[in-house]
A and B are shown apart, each in its own frame.
Chain A
Amino acid sequence: MSATNEGKTSGLHLLLAWGFVGIPLVWGLIQTIEKAMKIFV
């Protein structure tokens, strides 16, 4: 049974990958929250 050394993928790779999907998702979330806030207006 081989256990992997999970530390070898660079942090930059992880940051880029999560940023690639995270930035558009956060942008979309902010837009939706702004729209949802109209309930309280």
Chain B
Amino acid sequence: MFGFLARERTVAGPGFNRWLVPPAALCIHLCIGQAYALSVFNLPMTKLIGITESAPEDWLLTQLGWIFSLAIVFLGLSAALFGRWVEEGGPRRAMFAAALCWSGGFLVSALGMQLHNIWLVYLGYGVLGGIGLGLGYISPVSTLIKWFPDRPGMATGMAIMGFGGGAFIASPLSVSLMDIFSSSTHIGVAETFVCLGLIYLVFMMAGAAIVRVPAEDWKPTGWQPSSQPKKLMTTANVHVNEAWKTPQFWCIWVVLCMNVTAGIGVLGQASAMSQEMFGVTAAVAGGIVGFMSLSNMLGRFFWASLSDWIGRKNTYFCFFILGIGLYSLVPHTGSLGSVGLFVICTAVIMTMYGGGFATVPAYLKDMFGTKYVGAIHGRLLTAWAVAGVLGPVLVNYIRQYQIDSGIPKAQAYNTTMYIMAGLLVIGLIANSLIKAVDSRHHLAE
């Protein structure tokens, strides 16, 4: 019955154009990128009973914060656990499963809101949706690398850019849908979740239908692999179970974790930071967050494409060296009262946050080969799950500690920024330790 999902049914014929694969990947990543826009539901979800203002029985923001955290944790866990299943079964089966989990998560959550049962929302969006996120995130990555051996960074950058762009669509769409479904007696969040779930199901299934894998002996017309062996670009393959026994895997894990921890801390606090540091209005702060999200998305394509030219290791050196300087500069923008300089610093930081996600699949491909790159990438995403908890916790708790110690709110982020710069120093050291994988780890082929 599900024979059409099998890898062998997705092998492209001789006339297939590889430029159909990025839109298939984008169908998935644009949908799961909604996770970045979940916060638009925060306030409405605290008024499901009270409608105009929160009633005592309504959910609290602290309860709702767990939905996103759970989704990111399950993203990391499912990507790590099912990475090999995704790699072996091919992208269509993984995309199909991701579509069912992701849209199913929305429907279960909608039921949870209708019954006002937070545990159903945790189960729906957090667990089921989180599994959909993990499967969907890794499903097109190795396929794109195989279709674009000449530009692996650019290819994965395109897909992962979609994850950053998904929030741009989801945020205004969710607001419009809630406007349509809300009334004086009803807030319309559950109906919006049902609509989003169905829209995402259609989009993701379209991606699963379009996607193809290249034939075993396929290569781009006119392209020849470089005859000059490069030090950090292997032609061998490392098995997924062997990869995580290598120091290189753990160095890249630290590199990703430090880059994401620093970036996620700033992204999550940008609105409050700009209001408290510069006294700007909430609308202007929203504009700054929008500008940062734009930088996050564009950085994914820019840096990943650039990494095809300057190499992955050098790209991460750029992130860390530039990042250390910029994070250290942010407190001075506050003392100078320069919003413009603050926006420029945080925008560049955000390009490197996004760029870190988008460049890492090609880094793994360079180190461990293409055969198990999807599964290895899945295991590496546990770094994201850790950073998703570590980044916001560091920023929130240090800020609160500073305020409790009597430091003015405008200066409460200074220490955090220097700590973030310190995390990037750890990332810089880990990146400098990365060398080619020892040949004893290579698969015999």
Contacts and interface: CB of A to CB of B under 8 A. Distances in A.
Given A6-B221, A36-B290, A24 B30 contact: yes
A16 to B, nearest CB: 9
A20 B23 contact: yes
Nearest to A34: B290
A10 B33 CA distance: 29
Interface string B1-34: 0000000000010111111100110110010000
Given A28-B165, A36-B291, A20 B19 contact: no
B404 to A, nearest CB: 31
Contact of B294 (A3, A8, A22, A33): A33
B81 interface: no
A36 to B, nearest CB: 4
Contact of B286 (A2, A29, A38): A38
Given A2-B215, A21-B23, A31-B172, A39 B162 contact: no
B21 to A, nearest CB: 9
Contacts of B337: none
Nearest to B14: A4
B293 interface: yes
Contacts of A39: 284, 287-288, 291, 339, 343
B403 interface: no
A15 B221 CA distance: 22
B16 A32 contact: no
Interface string B200-223: 000000100010000101111110
Nearest to B295: A36
A6 B18 contact: yes
Contact of A28 (B16, B168, B283): B168
Q: Is the interface of A mostly helix, strand, loop or mixed?
A: helix
Contacts of B20: 9, 13-14, 17
Contacts of A8: 14-17
Contacts of B283: 38, 41
Contacts of B217: 1-2
B168 A17 contact: no
Contact of A32 (B19, B27, B293): B293
Contact of A21 (B27, B284, B291): B27
A28 B297 CA distance: 12
Contacts of A13: 17, 20
A1 B215 CA distance: 10
Given A4-B218, A36-B294, A39-B339, 9 more contacts: A4-B12, A4-B221, A6-B17, A9-B15, A13-B17, A21-B26, A24-B30, A27-B169, A28-B171
Interface of A: 1-9, 13-14, 17-18, 20-22, 24-25, 27-29, 31-33, 35-39, 41
30 contacts: A2-B14, A2-B217, A2-B218, A3-B221, A4-B218, A4-B221, A5-B221, A6-B17, A6-B220, A7-B15, A9-B15, A9-B20, A14-B17, A17-B24, A18-B23, A20-B23, A20-B27, A25-B165, A28-B168, A28-B170, A29-B168, A32-B168, A33-B294, A35-B290, A36-B287, A39-B284, A39-B291, A39-B339, A39-B343, A41-B283
Interface of B: 12, 14-20, 23-24, 26-27, 30, 162, 165, 167-173, 206, 210, 215, 217-222, 283-284, 286-288, 290-291, 293-294, 339, 343
